[in-house]
Amino acid sequence: MGTMTEQFDIAIIGAGPGGYAAALRAAELGRSVALIERDATLGGTCLNRGCIPSKALITATHTIDTVHRAAELGVQAHVDGIDYGTLRDYRRHVVETMTGGLAALLAHRGVTVFHGAATDLREIAGTADAETGANLAVTVTGNPVERFRKAQAAEPLDASVVIEAGDVILATGAEPRPLPGIPFAGALIDSTQALELDEFPASAVIVGAGAVAVEFASMWNAAGVDVTLLIRKDRVLSGWNRRTAATLTRELTRQGVKVVKGTAVTRVDTGANLGATVHYTRDGGDEQQVWGEIVLAAIGRDPNTRFDWLARAGVTLDDHGYVACDALGRTHAPHVWAVGDIVAGHALAHRAFEQGVTVAESIARLDPKPVDETTVPQIVFSHPEAACVGLTGQEATADPNLNDVKETAYPMLGNARMLMSGVGGAMTVVSGERADRPDVPVVLGVHIVAPVASDLIAEAEQLVGNRVPLAEAARLIHPHPTFSETLGEALLKADGRPLHTR
Ligand SMILES: Cc1cc2nc3c(=O)[nH]c(=O)nc-3n(C[C@H](O)[C@H](O)[C@H](O)COP(=O)(O)OP(=O)(O)OC[C@H]3O[C@@H](n4cnc5c(N)ncnc54)[C@H](O)[C@@H]3O)c2cc1C
C-alpha cells in the first residue's frame, strides 16, 4: 500500500548511450521498457556534456583553422573574432536537437521514461511475481517523479515510485575525475564546465593527455587561446601506437600548444584572484609553476557506481569502482546487467551503444556475441584527428597466438589530399598471422593521424573486426583522390606490393 508501483519487462537506470541504446533495442524486440533518468534531458554525458557539445565547438574552431590557412591558398579571409552568443546558441541548438530527437524516438518506440533518480534496487521478497515474472524492484525518487509516454507530456506521479521488472540494466555512466587530492574549485574546472564557459579564456593550462585533454588543447589553441598542456609521459595518448601518439604530439606543438612533458602536478592555487596557478615537478626535478586563466583537469573519468544500494543489491565493483561483470554485461546479481562507462574498458559512446544492444538481445535470448573490446575504434577529434582500432605492434607481438607480426608505416605526404590539407599525419598498419590460420596474414590493427581519421577508421574496423586477410583487404579499390587512399596504399605496402610508395 502507499507507494505507487509500475511493472515492466526491463528497467534501465541512466539514459546515456548505453541505457538508451538498450531501451531502443529492447522495445524493438517487443519488451516493455522503463528508462529512468535523473537529468532534465535524455542522452547522458554524450549528448549533454560530452561528444556532441564538444564536437559543436570543434566544428566552430575548425572554421578558424580553415580561415587562418586561407592566405596560403590565395584566399583572402580574416577572423575578426568570435561572437560567443551565437556560438553558445549554435552549441545549444545542436544539443537540444539531439536530445529532443532522442526523446521523440524513445516515445515512438514505446519506451516509458521516468524522470527521477534511482535510489534503491532490491529483489522482491519471495519468488518472482507469478504473472509478470518480475523479481526486481527499483525505487525512483523525484520532486515528483515524472512519467513520459507516447504523447511525451510530463505526467507528475508521487515523490517515490517503485518499478518492478524482470531485468534491470545499470547505465549510470561516469563523471570527471579530480586531480588526486585537489578538488575542482574556482578556475580549476572539469570538462563539463569547460564546455559551458561563456567565452574561451585568454590562457589555459590543461592537465591530461587523453582524448578530452587533447581535444580541448587543439580546439582552444585554434581559437587563439594560449594553451599549456601538462602531460606525464613524453607524448599524448601514451597507451596508443607510439608513432601515432608522437605524430599528434608533434602536430599540437607545431600548431602552438605548449606541451610540457614528464610533469606531475603537486598543487593548484585557485586563490581569490583571477585564474589559477598549477605547481608541478618535471622529471622529478624542482617544482615549477604555470598560471592559466582557466585550468582544466582532464585526467580521466570515474564510474558513477558509489551507490550504497548497488552493494546491497549484490552488485560488486572492482578496485576502481567499475561494475564487475562478464563479457555480456551480467553482474553478480541475477538479472542485473551493466553497460557503458561503468564497465571497465574504452569509455566511448559507440561502445556503450553496442553493449546496450547486446544486453537487450541477451535478455531476449538472441544469444548475441559479446562486444569485442579489441575492435572498438578509438578517436580523438583534434586537428588533425587521431583514430585507431585493433592491436598495436607491441600488443600483437606479445600475443602468443599471433605470428609474423609486421608494422607497416605509410608516408602520408604521398597522398594528394594530405598534402593539400597542410597538416602532418601518420598511418600504421599492423598485420600478422593467427595461430589458428597460419600463412594467411590478416589486418590486426590500424593507427591513423589525419584530418578525417575518425571517418577512415570505420573501414579499418571492418577489416580488423572481420579478420579480413591482408591480401583481400589490399584488393579493395579506394576512390581517388581521397584521404581513404592512405589506408589503401598502406595495405598494399603491407601486402608487399606498394603502388605509389617505395
Ligand atoms: C568532453 C567529453 C567528450 C566526449 N567525446 C566523445 C566522443 O567524441 N565520442 C565518444 O564515443 N565518446 C565521447 N565521450 C565519452 C562518452 O560521452 C561516454 O563514453 C558515454 O556518454 C557513456 O555512456 P553511458 O551511457 O555509459 O553513460 P552516460 O552518458 O554518462 O549516461 C549516464 C546517465 O545516467 C544517469 N544517472 C546516473 N545515476 C543515476 C541514477 N541513480 N538515477 C537515474 N539516472 C542516473 C546520468 O544522469 C546520465 O544521464 C566524451 C566524454 C566527454 C566527457
Dist. CA 40 → ligand 1 center (Å): 14
CA distance 42 to 111: 13
CA distance 395 to 389: 12
C-alpha distance across the termini of the chain, in Å: 79
Residue-level pLDDT at 264: 97
Q: Across the chain, how many H-helices and E-strands are there?
A: 14, 22
Dist. CA 201 → ligand 1 center (Å): 26
Among 13, 37, 46, say which to mutate for ligand 1: greatest number of ligand atoms within 8 Å of CB: 46
Dist. CA 340 → ligand 1 center (Å): 8
Q: Which residues are catalytic?
A: 480
Please, are residues 9 and 32 in contact by the beta-carbon 8 Å criterion?
A: yes
Q: Is 213 known as a binding-site position?
A: yes
Beta strands in 368-499 (DSSP E): 378-380, 385-390, 402-410, 426-434, 437-450
Please, are residues 291 and 277 in contact by the beta-carbon 8 Å criterion?
A: yes
Q: Is 128 known as a binding-site position?
A: no
Q: Is 341 known as a binding-site position?
A: yes
DSSP 3-state percent helix, strand, coil across the chain (nearest 5): 35, 30, 35
Residue-level pLDDT at 1: 47
pTM of the model: 0.97
Please, are residues 248 and 220 in contact by the beta-carbon 8 Å criterion?
A: no
Dist. CA 68 → ligand 1 center (Å): 34
Q: Is 55 known as a binding-site position?
A: yes
Task: Indicate which residue's Cα is closest to atom 48 of ligand 1.
Answer: 44
- The residues lining ligand 1, judged by C-beta closer than 6 Å to any ligand atom, are 13-19, 36-39, 44-46, 50-51, 54, 117-118, 171-174, 191, 212, 304, 340-341, 347-350, 352, 381
CA distance 163 to 19: 16
264 three-class SS: strand
β-pair partners for 35: 12, 113
User: What is the position in ligand 1's atom list of the atom closest to the CA of 191?
Assistant: 1
β-pair partners for 149: none
Residue-level pLDDT at 151: 85
In the chain, the domains with their CATH numbers are 5-48+92-173+304-364 (3.50.50.60), 176-299 (3.50.50.60), 384-495 (3.30.390.30)
Q: Residue-wise pLDDT tens for the chain (502 aa)?
A: 468 999 999 999 999 999 999 999 999 999 999 999 999 999 999 999 999 999 999 999 999 999 999 999 999 999 999 999 999 999 999 999 999 999 999 999 999 999 999 999 999 976 555 565 679 999 999 999 999 999 889 999 999 999 999 999 999 999 999 999 999 999 999 999 999 999 999 999 999 999 999 999 999 999 999 999 999 999 999 999 999 999 999 999 999 999 999 999 999 999 777 899 999 999 989 999 999 999 999 999 999 999 999 999 999 999 999 999 999 999 999 999 999 999 999 999 999 999 999 999 999 999 999 999 999 999 999 999 999 999 999 999 999 999 999 999 999 999 999 999 999 999 999 999 999 999 999 999 999 999 999 999 999 999 999 999 999 999 999 999 999 999 999 999 999 999 999 8
Residue-level pLDDT at 58: 98
